[in-house]
Structure formats: C-alpha cells, structure tokens
Structure 1
Amino acid sequence: MTLTLSAFAMLLPFSLNAAPGIDEEALCLRNESERTHLFVVEAPGAGRLVQEIAPGESLCAAGAIPGATGVVSVFEGINALEGCSRLVPVGQSETMIEYVDFDRCFWGSNSD
C-alpha cells in the first residue's frame, strides 16, 4: 500500500482547531499524543483529507452527510505502511491518545 498526499485532498475544507461540539456535518480527529502524525479523515460527502497534525491540533472534514459513518486513520508518517483506523459517525470527533503500530492505537472513545 502506498499512501500519497494529493493536491485535491488539500483543497477540501479543514480545521486545525475543532471546537468540542462539532457540526453535525463534520468529522474530526484530534491528536492528543506527544508527536506529529499523518492523519486521514474520510467521510461520505466530504471527501478525504490527509495532513500531518501536531499535538493538540485536529483535522476536520466539513460537509459530510449527517448520520453517515466515516473513517479516521493515523500513520506514523508519510512513508508508513501500517497505521490505525477507526469508524466514527459523522457529527462526532475522535481523539488519538497514543500511536502504536499495527492498529493498536489508544483512542479517546475506548479509553473512558
């Protein structure tokens, strides 16, 4: 699998500072780890966003279909073959607490 950044992905709407209560047409992924990682947020109607996200920042896809399910993914970097992915309903935000290879990341939704 090859992961590439496309110019198209960067043209879609995104936010680095998502509010705690996000829009019902948005899907967000927040980086609460101590390192910058490559984040991917993909939701029906909003396309796919790919960007390196620093600690404490978020990547949000706006304009998604309310009630749909999107996918959020985290990779160690642009050249990583393995990462972590999670299904998340549109209108919610997921938090990546710690990155661990081979789909063993610590997520906010299963750490409460």
Structure 2
Amino acid sequence: MHLALALLFALIVPAGPVSADICVTNADRTRLLFVAETDGGIRVIAWLDPGGRLCAEGAGSGRVSVYETEDSLEGCTRLVPPDGADVLLRYTAFDRCLWQSHLD
C-alpha cells in the first residue's frame, strides 16, 4: 500500500522546481534575430536559423520579438501568456509578421 501511494505521489508532485518559460520558434526560411523576455525581466537574445528555438526562463507572461539585424529599429513583437510560446511563420518588416497565434 505504501509503495502505491509513493508512486502516485511521484506522478502528481514534480521532482524539481516548476518553470514557466516564454519561448519562440523560427519557422521562417531565413536566419533572424529573436528576443524572448519575461515580465520578470529575464531577456534572452539570439540569432535563430530556420527551425531554431529560444526560451527565457521565468514565471509569468512575457513577449517575443524578431528583427532582421541588430540595428533594426522595427521588428515584430507578440505578447505571450504564462508558460507560452509562439512560432514565427513569416517575417515581414514593420510589425506585419505572420505568427502561429494568428492562426490559432
């Protein structure tokens, strides 16, 4: 009986701390500069090749952004709910990108 309870408890309670990440995936055909940022202030920046994924660890909601270059003033940004993610399907300058969340 104690073994069954222990196994049930192990399935219900996570072994480590629960993390809510804010993530973005590049499904565009080009290499682009991405930012994943939590409302708690964690900000991660990286160039992603097609199929690449970037995550910022932290609880709460956040935002993901994409730019053509480090010097770009305009890009595309999407708000992301807690433990959320979005996928950039197509990059177009001036905040006209196509995101998976547009289709959901």
After TM superposition, the score normalised by the length of structure 2 is 0.77
Q: Which has the larger radius of gyration?
A: 2
Q: CA RMSD in A?
A: 1.5
Partner Cα separation in structure 1 for residue 85 and residue 28 of structure 2: 15
1:10-64 CA-to-partner distances (Å, cap 9, x unmatched) read xxxxxxxxxxxxx7511100000000100001003461011111100100112x1
Number of residue pairs matched? Answer: 87
Query: Which residue of 2 is the match for residue 82 of structure 1?
Result: 74
Higher helix share: 2
SS in 1 for 2:65: strand
Aligned-residue sequence identity (percent) comes to 39
Partner of 1:107: 99
Consecutive unaligned residues of structure 2, counting only runs of 5 or more, are 1-17
1:49-64 alignment runs, 5 A limit = 49-62=44-57, 64=58
Using a 3 Å threshold, how does the CA distance of structure 1 residues 60 and 72 change in structure 2: closer, same or farther? Answer: same
- Indicate whether 1:37 and 2:29 are aligned: no
Equivalent runs, 1:12-31 vs 2, <5 Å: 25-31=20-26
